[in-house]
Chains A and B, each alone.
Chain A
């Protein structure tokens, strides 16, 4: 009987590995023991084994496979960094050191025939061009649709800018090519690393880790956000969302998290790196031997409180979220995208253009930045192009969704998307699949706040209409509902 037990264990291990099905404890187990025990014939055992294998392969449920790849993308010394204004555009801020190694981190998730790739990388932003390029290369390599690939910058202000930024970060074509290659490489590593996985999803609050930077006081926390909440208030979202992947075969577990805070904690220093998320990684690597990957949230109006404080609180919340995470039985992996036109405020743009034109004509004194904006962008803009097409994307993992958008979204819209999402838990990821700058609330346009009035001129866009946030929100929620119906 001991020999039969050993055989059972071996068979169970084989089946578990091949088809993710447990033999021991099933009815087949009893049948097998009966046959083997009474007859003890190797042929009998083999026949039973083969029958079981055939039957279960046919009826085998797919299982979640997850892998991760990581590639260092530390910029070479002398690489221009983005994120902060250059007082002298001819003397950009360049990297002289690395405060923590920036990385491309790719996770490849497969369930049945569907594979999705999410890339997070420590960078100020990502251009639409790079997104298309990398999506195509990975899509070709994996034989999957490019639409199933998400590319998300963390908005690290101690890293270069890949999208255009006027006087805020020169492009570095060679480095950008290397980063694109790194994304492909990391994704291939992730694909090769795939292993059966159980997903646990949790969230916890990192109270005190971030602030709304647009108001001195009166901003409200996400826990106060209700069905009736809207742009009348400024908000800050202190929730850390965690995807914890428990993997088999002695593979390290994977940890991806989503939180909202500008990575600006190294200021205008010339040390390159991820900013506070790098410290979070260092903390968790030290404590738990796990290297978390960061997905930026909705931070158009959000700053961290400080390098150490934010990192410590976020790391603590991650651990808390992991501990309280609930297993998400992933029986569906789906990816949906939606093209959305973000409307420009062409009247305002026209008005600004005329003002600048007048200043130049009167030679009344205009800044180098304004002159450059007018000369190289505003004066040449095709006024017939009154909206910006972007792609929103949603990935469904069971009853959990990730919503990807390319904006620096004001918090209220991120919270609305989460509130109105049909999923048990929704992670709203910004700076994804391109970069459109801020999507602030209507009040920001009324007040001509920095995010509404200044930044479009940095990015070479006309300003958005004040209702742009609404457009973004409704489209995102619609997309989530659509993928939820699948």
Chain B
């Protein structure tokens, strides 16, 4: 029976037994979760949260790190069956199946506040036993693997979650329970198949002259704090606080010097959840503390029974409701927040109702890393003494300070190529049993090169772990935990990173007094990615202190935004003229792919929300943006400057009303015009609707960014000409860490397709691909400065080619999201302005008349364009001599700037801006807020051609631009972004060492 079958069985039986009462629906605290059956024979573990107890001898690893919640594992259950009657039978049957192995790999985890039944492996045989309440007492159902049946023995006390402490007081000893309440006192051990009186375990249960009681209002637990196999008795109540340890010689509890942090309370004065949890956050086997309530949060690491939780990992007052670690309790009520040891993140409950309780998860990773590096800085010895061999090259490259220094590097272009060096000889102290720590300088880089299997790290000739190029703080560990490597980058460029490497090895891998032979071996080929060792022998003194540098990372990882996202189908359900190619003269002939408008609303903690709409269309006219901005300001109070709309520039999308008709060389038929106006009106309504839906969808989220590389765009003016292959990515993750919005941008014309059918082209397929990779997420695509870049054309099977391009973007975005995200924490500020771009001299009437006679090869476009202008002159209309171009920037403090440029902007703008602005932090969109025409650079303007001025007639402008356009636009962008985005180390570290 698999998991689903199991859940179905439970649900079905509960219906049979309980009418309409669902198995897990009687109480908010009730949970049914399937978990893996644990391996047997592992040490006794224990977790006792406020209203939940998790006990087992059989769970692998540290049960103390496990936190009962939706995704937590656990094989000991407290089951409240008191209100349900025959559920007793269900639990017994499920346990029987579990023990017999007929229940597949699942077992229930059903937790309730007033649990009356306990599921626990009382005798450590790996099978689950059951403590079951009866009207006049309780009984122990002990499973026998031999008899395949229960043996029933009395349980000495009535099961009461809050009064019975479970644990063990001697390593490998029997399961022990201790009860001390006003009404009953005693202790028992499960020995030889029965509960034996162990009343002596109640001796010395006092703390500071006060008696310790085990019932709920006192906050007392048995916990193995120091992972020695014996439980300590921890009191963390409103009045009594401290730790007792069992003295087996004197047979008496004695007070430990270990003190709890001031704020640590399992329960408050009213007996409710005090917001304290015991979790092994640093995975060293002992019980650390996480404390989080409405006002503050902190994490304390356990050191020893002598010093207690003396290391404070972090501590802060909660300034904003959604700041920091999600509250574990609010006004005494358990919020359901839970700890995910895999990501070291504390998540709020999925069903958290209050705003403060629904903050996004909080990662402890950076804090732990900071502590780790601080420790390494103190203990590490020199990690380089002499080079042994290098199959790579030696030259100079940037070091951790951005200075050029000698280095030995090894690329991933040949499998098995090695770089080997020796550390200084280990000394006696180092080999006394503690791990050895070494620090050396190095760098890794060329991240845009293809990934391979990376590198192997060999210690004295034995491969211990594998690592690869990264720009992040990263720790790799060997499977047997005998070796680990930490990379602490202190200098990075868009491609490379340099910094400190900390190598930790078990003393059993080295010989006392001998140097350690360290080898880095390439596992891949065909890539220029590289690892470099800087042969420096006085690294210890150069360590720079981790606190300041890592503080920013910590803050970034945990800043909470409010993010909403929505999508609306904007596919025309009727034939309509498509925009993009002048050669089309009929309405669309079908739908290949549906078109979408996506809305993304982002609100940073101290700012008003900002809205982005991405639209599958060729253009987005200014009047449409203005109309939407007006409506949204009225409907939801959106500030117009905090609104951006971009078009994907698909050439297979409907034409919008009031756009230039000079593209087509002839007036549109009235029927075509009618449907264009109908669509435009419908579209405007849908865009308003999707914006409001996103607005209403605001939820706590964390934002991340990344920058990847996709290569299908090609310069269409000059073979091998400049392109911008960057793929910037912005990701919103919800409170559980799930991706729910992905925004990407790529600088390429959306012109894979040239048929007359509706499609989003590669931008549409990219959205589909990303949304497939992240179910439930909404993908948004904008286009960068790709006015002079085309995709590979698809020919007859162009739709397939467009899909392939989309997949390329989707795959890269997926890779980045999985491996390369950096958190964003800054406030979101927006700026918006319009620059007036001067056109060259406007033709005279005579010149228009002359042009009107032309019947050029492009379908008479020039002639038609001139005739339109003559008509205007006849009607007394002025000929426009300036192009208003919107320039907008969104900045997340100094971490990320997204530039929205109107028009069809050529690639030179992106490249120039990325030279002047730190390219890692800038993202440039085109086709934003208005698309009046092509925006050529000075180079393109000089060169002329289609983008340099020829296309102005298709956009219904009278003349090309005057020189100076580029500076005007670039200056405006710089002005809006300010000096904090100026490049600090311009052009350093691009690719090659």
Contacts and interface: CB of A to CB of B under 8 A. Distances in A.
Interface of A: 6, 9, 13, 16-17, 22, 24-25, 200, 244, 246-250, 252-253, 255, 284, 287-290, 319, 322-327
Contact of A247 (B185, B209, B248): B185
A25 B183 contact: no
B342 interface: no
Contacts of A246: 180, 185, 202
Given A255-B182, A324-B211, 12 more contacts: A9-B196, A22-B251, A24-B251, A248-B197, A249-B186, A252-B184, A253-B181, A288-B215, A289-B184, A319-B182, A323-B211, A325-B211
A9 B182 CA distance: 28
B628 to A, nearest CB: 62
Nearest to A284: B182
A22 B191 CA distance: 18
Interface string B175-203: 00000111111100001100011011010
Contacts of A323: 210-211, 213
A459 B537 CA distance: 104
Contacts of A244: 182
Contacts of A290: 181-183
A250 B156 contact: yes
A96 B186 CA distance: 42
Nearest to B249: A25
Contacts of A24: 251
A248 B186 CA distance: 6
B393 to A, nearest CB: 63
Top-3 shortest CB links A-B: A290-B183, A288-B182, A289-B183
B428 interface: no
A25 B204 CA distance: 15
Contacts of B196: 9, 13
B655 interface: no
B197 A13 contact: yes
Interface in B602-639: none
Nearest to B251: A25
Contacts of B206: 327
A326 B210 CA distance: 8
Given A16-B200, A22-B200, A289-B181, A250 B211 contact: no
Contacts of B180: 246
A230 to B, nearest CB: 33
Interface string B689-730: 000000000000000000000000000000000000000000
Nearest to B218: A323
Interface in B134-183: 156-158, 180-183
B83 interface: no
B542 interface: no
B649 to A, nearest CB: 72
Contacts of B184: 250, 252-253, 289
Contacts of A9: 191, 196
Contacts of B197: 13, 16-17, 248-250
Contact of B209 (A250, A287, A326): A326
Interface residues of B, number: 27
Contact of B183 (A252, A325, A327): A252
A153 to B, nearest CB: 25
A324 B186 contact: no
A438 B546 CA distance: 80
B198 to A, nearest CB: 8
Contacts of B248: 25
Contact of B211 (A17, A247, A322): A322
A5 to B, nearest CB: 9
21 contacts: A9-B191, A16-B199, A22-B251, A25-B250, A246-B202, A247-B185, A248-B186, A249-B197, A249-B199, A250-B157, A250-B184, A252-B183, A253-B181, A288-B183, A289-B158, A289-B181, A289-B183, A289-B184, A322-B182, A323-B213, A324-B210
Nearest to B180: A246
B56 to A, nearest CB: 22
A287 B271 CA distance: 12
A17 B197 CA distance: 9
Interface in B198-246: 199-200, 202, 206, 209-211, 213, 215
A42 B251 CA distance: 27
A279 B191 CA distance: 42
A200 B186 CA distance: 15
Nearest to B189: A9
Contact of A248 (B181, B191, B199, B211): B199
A37 to B, nearest CB: 18
A203 to B, nearest CB: 14
Contacts of B213: 323
A431 B191 CA distance: 50
B88 to A, nearest CB: 22
Given A22-B200, A24-B251, A25-B249, A253 B183 contact: yes
A246 B185 CA distance: 6
A250 B186 contact: yes
A68 to B, nearest CB: 12
A244 B184 CA distance: 11
Nearest to A17: B197
B131 to A, nearest CB: 15
Contacts of A325: 211
A253 B182 contact: yes
A30 to B, nearest CB: 11
Contacts of A22: 200, 251
Given A22-B200, A248-B197, A325-B211, A288 B181 contact: yes
Contacts of A250: 156-157, 184, 186, 197
A305 B211 CA distance: 30
A322 B180 CA distance: 12
Contacts of B156: 250
B748 to A, nearest CB: 72
B249 A253 contact: no
Contacts of A17: 197
B211 A200 contact: yes
A322 B215 CA distance: 13
Contacts of A16: 197, 199-200
A319 B192 CA distance: 37
Contacts of B185: 246-247, 253
A253 B183 CA distance: 5
Contacts of B158: 289
Nearest to B160: A289
A442 B337 CA distance: 67
Nearest to B252: A25
Nearest to A324: B210
A249 B202 CA distance: 12
Nearest to B198: A13
A253 B181 CA distance: 8
A284 B182 CA distance: 9
A319 B249 CA distance: 33
A289 B180 CA distance: 12
A244 B191 CA distance: 30
B381 to A, nearest CB: 43
Contacts of A319: 182
Nearest to B188: A250
A250 B164 CA distance: 13
A247 B157 CA distance: 13
A17 B191 CA distance: 17
A17 B200 CA distance: 11
A202 B658 CA distance: 90
Contacts of B200: 16, 22
Contacts of B182: 244, 253, 255, 284, 287-290, 319, 322
A255 B181 CA distance: 12
Contacts of A13: 196-197
Nearest to B239: A323
A9 B180 CA distance: 22
Nearest to B196: A13
A451 to B, nearest CB: 36
A385 B793 CA distance: 130
Contacts of A249: 186, 197, 199
